[in-house]
Amino acid sequence: MIRTSPLLRPAALVVVVVMAGISALGFHSIRKDIENLQVISRDNILWSATQMEVELLRFQRSLAYYATEPDEAALDDVHARFDILWSRFALITQGRVGQLLRQYDEGHGTLQTISDYLREIDPFILALGPESVNGLQAILQDMDALQSDMRLYSLRVVRGDTAAASMVRDRMRSSAQLTASIALGALVISLLTLFLIMRDNRRQREMAAMSQRQAEAAEAASQAKSRFLTMMSHELRNPLNGVLGPLALIGQSEIGERQMRLLERAKQSGRIMMRMLSGLLDYGDMQDGRLVLREEVFRPRGLAEEVGVALRDASADSEARVTVTVARDMPDMVWGDMDRLTQIFVYLAEYVLGSNASTEVEVAFSHEDEHLVAQIAVANGDAVPGWKLDLLMGLSGDTRRSFASEALGPLIVRGLLGTVRGLLSLAEDEAGRRVIRVAVPARRVAFDKIRIHLETRSAALETLYRAALRSDRVNFLDPAAAEPADVVLVDSTSIGDATLIGELRQRFPDALFVSIGLPASPAYFDEIVDAPNDMARLRESVLGRLAS
């Protein structure tokens, strides 16, 4: 594919801007010419000049009439025409019109001569009367000469004004032609630029489509690998369960001490293999975006016990001593996904055990700021190699082939931590030991006491349910007591539910109703525990639903 020049778009932008600037200049020029034409039309110099000529002629005619009919009306007409004529000639001293009138008279002096003559005869006109009629003939003769000069001046104004208007129109025509040419050129260049940009966009879309296809192909390949990994993990776990089951049965028979040690070794290896397969399944789910957390209530001390068992299995072949401690102020119950959190802590501790020749590994659990915190400290041995710490933190860009198997644990840990929004950091304690600190969200359960009303007709089941839910925060109510209950447990396998549930609903309107076993009318219950012997599910339903 041909690659588009990176200068195409900037060059096109520059061309468009330049064309727009030139078009703006042409528009400004045309607008200025139009304004000049409007000024010429508004000033109307030709009208002003011809009006002076007309008023001069009218004044001359009024004088001639008065010379033949010297009455009062004719005298008033002479005075009025003289005043009008004088006002017309006064224009040559005012504003733009006067300036233009004087420009057309430069080198001739016609206006100045007439103005001076009017100033000269002004006293005579004011004192005009019947007795001074004889003096009008001389003035009329002078007026004839002035009228001839004024006619020549008007002709000059006509020619000059016509030339000025013609020049403005020529400039407007030239500006319009230039602007049209520039606009046409700008249109052609814009169309060419648009074509190039569209072609460039098409190429970009083709490249984006190709990249999308490649990404989809890579995603499909990744999902295929994940599905294969998941399938193989399932296929391996089934025969592994087939091995662990008979081993457990063999352990219940009478065998020798040596055979028992070998059996325990095989069971430990099987448990480690099972955890590895579970990790591979989780990794496949993370790759496909299918890993879902289970928010439930669990005991942190139980999680610590499972971590301790797993670490003892991992250190069975070494001389390392593993210690798991729990802080005294650890909450009895917290929210979280116990299985995922157990995997995180076990993989980390096993990775530390396999990365150094330590004689002591200490795992300390605590609860800080609504987070379950585990600190894995290494003492009395070689420090963990730097590249292994980088691999654990996800900082190593060089995944050496010889370390590929060791990268599986850190890879799963980082993926699970990202899923549960946990944090991993390295630090040193007061004794100078390197400490791997992990903090995952695990908020405290926010109840003090749960009041449970148990409705069952089986004394044996009642004993089992009480044992499963036994806690210093659980209080089983006397069936005959009038105290309100938080949870009502109904054994749907041994009693009917329709009439009984109606009575219990009236008695405990604010309680959580939980059915133990499948009820005939599921709509009556808020929670259903399908199997009566599923005590873990029962604890989750009772404790988890009221722990918020």
Task: Check if the beta carbon of residue 150 is closer than 8 Å to that of residue 114.
Answer: yes
The pLDDT value given to residue 13: 67
Beta-bridge partner residues of 134 = none
Give, in order, the Cα–Cα distances in Å from 320 to each of 313, 314, 353, 377, 387.
11, 10, 8, 13, 22
Query: Any idea what DSSP says for residue 286?
Result: H
Question: What CA–CA distance (Å, rounded) separates 525 from 490?
Answer: 9
The pLDDT value given to residue 79: 85
The pLDDT value given to residue 31: 65
The pLDDT value given to residue 8: 57
Question: What CA–CA distance (Å, rounded) separates 526 from 504?
Answer: 13
Give, in order, the Cα–Cα distances in Å from 302 to each of 107, 299, 333, 342, 473.
120, 5, 10, 10, 17
Question: What CA–CA distance (Å, rounded) separates 156 from 105?
Answer: 8
Buried b (16+ CB within 10 A) or exposed e, 497-536: beeebeebeeebeebbbbbbbebeeeebbebbbeebeeee
Question: What CA–CA distance (Å, rounded) separates 439 from 422?
Answer: 6
Instruction: Per-residue pLDDT tens, the chain, 548 aa: give them.
Output: 444 456 556 666 676 676 667 666 666 666 666 665 555 444 466 667 777 778 888 888 888 888 888 888 888 888 888 888 878 777 666 767 667 777 777 778 777 788 788 888 888 888 887 777 777 788 888 888 888 887 887 787 777 777 776 776 777 777 777 777 777 777 788 787 777 778 877 888 888 888 888 888 877 776 676 667 666 666 676 777 777 777 777 777 777 778 887 877 787 777 777 767 777 777 777 766 677 777 777 788 888 888 888 777 777 666 677 888 999 888 877 888 888 888 888 877 777 776 665 567 788 899 988 889 988 887 655 555 555 666 666 655 554 444 455 666 777 777 888 888 888 887 777 776 778 888 998 888 765 678 888 888 777 778 888 888 877 778 888 877 778 888 888 887 767 667 777 888 888 887 888 888 888 777 778 788 877 777 777 777 676 655 54
Question: What CA–CA distance (Å, rounded) separates 26 from 171?
Answer: 11
**Paired sense of beta strands 512-516 and 487-491, if any:** parallel
Task: Check if the beta carbon of residue 527 is closer than 8 Å to that of residue 427.
Answer: no
Phi, psi of 528 (to 5 degrees): -130, 125
Domains of the chain: 8-196 (1.20.120.1730), 296-441 (3.30.565.10), 450-545 (3.40.50.2300)
Question: What CA–CA distance (Å, rounded) separates 188 from 268?
Answer: 81
Give residues with Cβ within 8 angstroms of 12, minimum separation 6: 193, 196, 197
Give the tokens for residue 387: 């590249």
